[in-house]
Amino acid sequence: MNSLEQHLTGYLAVRRAMGYKLARAGKLLPQFTTWMAERDQSLITSELALEWATCPPATGSNWHHQRLSVVRGFAAHLHAIDPAHEIPPADLLPWRARRAVPYLYTDTEIQTLMDSARVIPTPHRAATMRTLIGLLAVTGMRVGEAIRLDRGDIDLANRLLIVRDTKFGKSREVALHPTTITALQSYLARRDRPVPPEPTTAVFTSAAGTRLIYCNVHLAFKQIVAHAGLHPRSVNCRPRPHDLRHTFAVNTLLDAYRISENPAVRLPLLSTYLGHVHPGSTYWYLQAAPELLALASDRLERHLQGASR
């Protein structure tokens, strides 16, 4: 193990102890230290960091900037230990903040996705994706939260899911409809559930019986989307698993408008249910729904008309 690798172990440990998950850094920085070792380099310079960050072909995204940003954090840590390490300037690579436009699913499309899970080769894997898609649709959970669920996190008596240590270190309880409880019980009771080489408490398991991996969920979801015949609505609006969360949030607010409930009252509850730190974070999920914006505009117009009388 070279000096950079040793420092990297300490850097990741310290940052994670502070509550940072560092999933991306945990994958990219070992690649960077290996790349540096292959070139017999032990000091980070802006030139080397830039060369590594721009190694992959351009993808039209901010990927090069993100790679450099990961190295910058590590370099800042090393610079405090040895000033000979350079911290790459923040503006060394251009970038533009960009978020995908949410693909808001209709109820029919969600059902079609669940039915299309049969395209996955083995019955257990197909049942896994069908149940996972259904759970994401009715709870608004993050994909990572769902695949980290253990059997002990399902409280059958109180119809709850316990979502532990999620983004920002928060844990929460998610209320479930009886039909969702039934679906989870049926999935867990399948006789074709693979037996893993090592015992696991995971709810959602792979064909090998091990806990699902995030990237494999996305690959399977792409297969399902193609089989379901769902197409991008624009360059930046493509069906993604995370958009089930957007759809849940939008539908929750739409229900409030439709029953004449004050959406401002429901928003903090929705924010808590989704596991957001602040209700302001929830607004992002709501700004891409024309129907929701129309209802909000109509409500505002009625309020202004009443105020002018």
Domain ranges of the chain: 3-81, 101-309
Q: Which of 162, 134, 131, 130 lies closest to 149 in space, CA to CA?
A: 162
Position 20 scores a pLDDT of 76
pTM reported for the whole predicted model: 0.72
Cα–Cα distance between 263 and 286 in angstroms, integer?
Answer: 12
Angle CA 67–245–62, to nearest 5: 20
- The CATH number fitting domain 101-309, selected from 3.40.50.970, 3.40.50.300, 3.30.1120.10, 1.10.443.10: 1.10.443.10
Residues that are catalytic? 142, 167, 242, 245, 276, 285
Cα–Cα distance between 45 and 125 in angstroms, integer?
Answer: 46
pLDDT in tens, the chain (309 residues): 578 999 999 999 988 887 777 888 999 999 999 999 999 999 999 999 999 999 877 655 588 888 999 999 999 999 999 999 999 998 888 766 666 788 999 999 999 999 999 999 999 999 999 999 999 999 999 999 999 999 999 999 999 999 987 766 678 999 999 999 999 999 999 999 999 989 999 999 999 999 999 989 999 999 999 999 999 988 888 999 999 999 998 888 888 777 777 777 778 888 888 887 777 677 766 665 666 666 666 665 665 666 655
Position 255 scores a pLDDT of 82
With 0-12 / 13-18 / 19 or more C-beta atoms within 10 angstroms meaning exposed / middle / buried, residue 2 is middle
Amino acid identity of residue 97, one-letter, is A
Position 92 scores a pLDDT of 87
Alpha helices in 57-142 (DSSP H): 63-81, 107-116, 123-139
Long-range contacts of residues 140-145, Cβ cutoff 8 Å, at least 24 apart: 140/244, 140/245, 140/248, 140/249, 140/252, 140/273, 140/274, 141/174, 141/245, 142/166, 142/167, 142/242, 142/245, 142/275, 143/214, 143/217, 143/218, 143/241, 143/242, 144/214, 145/275
Position 285 scores a pLDDT of 64
Cα–Cα distance between 217 and 241 in angstroms, integer?
Answer: 9
Locate tokens 């436009």: which residue? 101
